[in-house]
Amino acid sequence: MSGDLLVRGGRVVRASGDALADVLVLGGVVVEVGHALQSPPGTPVLDASGCLVLPGLVDPQVHFREPGLEHKEDLASGSLAAIGGGVTGFMEMPNTKPSTTTPELLADKIARALGRAHGDFAFFLGATAQNADRLGEWEQLPGCAGVKIFMGSSTGDLLVPDDPTVERVLRSGRRRVAVHAEDDYRLKERYKALKPDTHIRHHHEVRDVETAVLATRRLLNLAEKTGRKVHVLHISTAEEVALIRERALGDLVTAEVTPNHLFLAAPDCYDQYGSLAQMNPPVRDVRHRDALRKGLVDGVLTCIGSDHAPHSLVEKQKPYPDTPSGIPGVQTILPLLLTGVRDGWLSLSTIARVACLGACRVYGIKGKGDLAKGFDGDLVVVDPNVRLPLERTWLHSKAGYSPYVGWLLAGWQREVVLRGEVVYRDHAPVGAPKGQLLRFS
């Protein structure tokens, strides 16, 4: 029956720990997690023995490019990549074409997603000087993930570079505001001074440490001044981790890191992958990578977001700095984190805390991110015996590339379940897309 499932015999991984257990989902909702569970007659059974069973991941930062940039990605292909990665909930960014800056444009995205999105979803509204004072009202709309501010320019034309306008946005509304924190004034100066032959290898020096730290410091000051909760996206420097730790602003400030900043490091990543490793803020050297890993494990960084940001290979082949920034990654969050467990710096329960529950805590998403009574029956069954190099053909993003192709895996997702229904199995979707709106408290 639709939405009923007994997942039998797996190692259930939660933020609080892991144990061998069955998971019973009835009517799309977890009703029990425990040993030798009985289910009503006719309940489908999924044998997970020998496998890990994690809550479905929730990725709070993806760019699925629709409308306007569908040659890079669309809601169907992006969300297929998401469920292929065990990501059953996603929050999509507003720098599409046009940018998502009004209730009408938000409604248009929701209409496009219904019937085509493979996982549950919400969309961010982009902040501008023009809509700043309306955002408090609009952020309450169903299907709205909240408000996103670009303090520094990246793909698209959304930009709120100055403190007075950032402050106006922060004073309009209550929900946590997501922020791309790079200082646009410093960025403009640095791009102006760029020598014509600057190589991609220097991307992390062009958009340097100070560019990120300046903006994050300004943002923390404004959060403190206004009392508005903020979420710092894709933290990229050791200095920002230290800053957030030292300022100790509690729940006022949460922060996110991408797998790219945890698993790649400059300069090697640029030498090996060229512009395929180019994103904003940039991947930096191992000192930063190691501080980010530590910040994630000890809780200064609250969650993982992939910042899945596909561009076409043709666009990626332009000469630097005309190459667009962004790395596809929604499908490779979990397999990369599992290599972190294999390599000894990450635990399974930390994965559940930061990749499943993390975004739900940050944004107040209801019923997701855990396998406990009353939560949605969203889960991913991982076969830990898949020890193969990552295959490009397994990836569903239109991008068609990933720096992680060929990396040796420490497990791969076998089945993915959304509200009690298997929606993905053995590298392919099962059934029609069933994504619904995420709900927020």
Binding site for ligand DOR (CB under 6 A): 63, 95, 154-155, 180, 279-280, 309, 325-326
CB closer to ligand DOR, 77 vs 154 = 154
What is the smallest separation between the CB atom of 216 and ligand DOR, expressed in angstroms? 14
Kindly provide the b/e burial profile for residues 133-160, where b requires at least 16 CB atoms within 10 angstroms of the residue's own CB. Answer: eebeebbeeebbbbbbbbbbbbbbebbb
Beta carbon nearer to ligand DOR, 212 or 357: 212
Tell the smallest beta-carbon distance from residue 280 to ligand DOR (Å). 4
Q: Is 99 helix (H, G, I), strand (E, B) or coil?
A: coil
Shorter beta-carbon distance to ligand DOR: residue 278 or 413 = 278
- For 46, other C-beta atoms within 10 Å of its C-beta total 22
CB 275 to ligand DOR: min, Å: 11
Per-residue DSSP letters for 239-296? Answer: HHHHHHHHH--GGGEEEEE-HHHHH--TTHHHHHHGGGG--SSPP--HHHHHHHHHHH
Q: Would you say 101 or 155 has its CB closer to ligand DOR?
A: 155
Decide: 425 and 414 in contact? Cβ < 8 Å: yes
Closest contact distance (angstroms) between CB of 374 and ligand DOR is: 35
Nearer to ligand DOR, 226 or 325 (CB): 325
Joined tokens for residue 134: 């309306």
> Nearest CA to 350 among 383, 302, 416, 417?
302
Q: How far is the CB of 39 from ligand DOR (least distance, A)?
A: 44
Record the tokens describing residue 367, joined without a space: 């019923």
Neighbours of 393 (CB within 10 A): 8
Token pair in block for residue 385: 């015996």
State the nearest-atom distance from the C-beta of 16 to ligand DOR, in Å.
33
Apex 386 CA angle, 380 and 388, nearest 5: 130
Q: d(Cα 136, Cα 134) in Å, to the nearest integer?
A: 6
Q: Tell the smallest beta-carbon distance from residue 173 to ligand DOR (Å).
A: 22
DSSP secondary structure of 328-360: --TTTHHHHHHHHHHTTS--HHHHIIIIIIHHH
Q: Could you list the active site residues?
A: 307
Q: β-pairing, 253-257 with 303-304?
A: parallel
The answer for residues whose C-beta is within 8 angstroms of residue 348's C-beta and 6 or more apart is 13, 18, 52, 54, 341
Alpha-carbon gap, residue 214 to 376, rounded angstroms: 40
Q: Peptide bond before 67: cis, by omega within 30 degrees of 0?
A: yes
Instruction: Give the pair of three-digit tokens for residue 390.
Output: 């990552």
**CB 310, min distance to ligand DOR, A:** 8
> What backbone phi and psi angles, to 5 degrees, belong to 54?
-110, 155
Residue with tokens 């830990």: 384
Q: Which residue has the tokens 């999509």?
A: 92
Give whichever of 254 and 280 is closer to ligand DOR, judged by the CB atom.
280
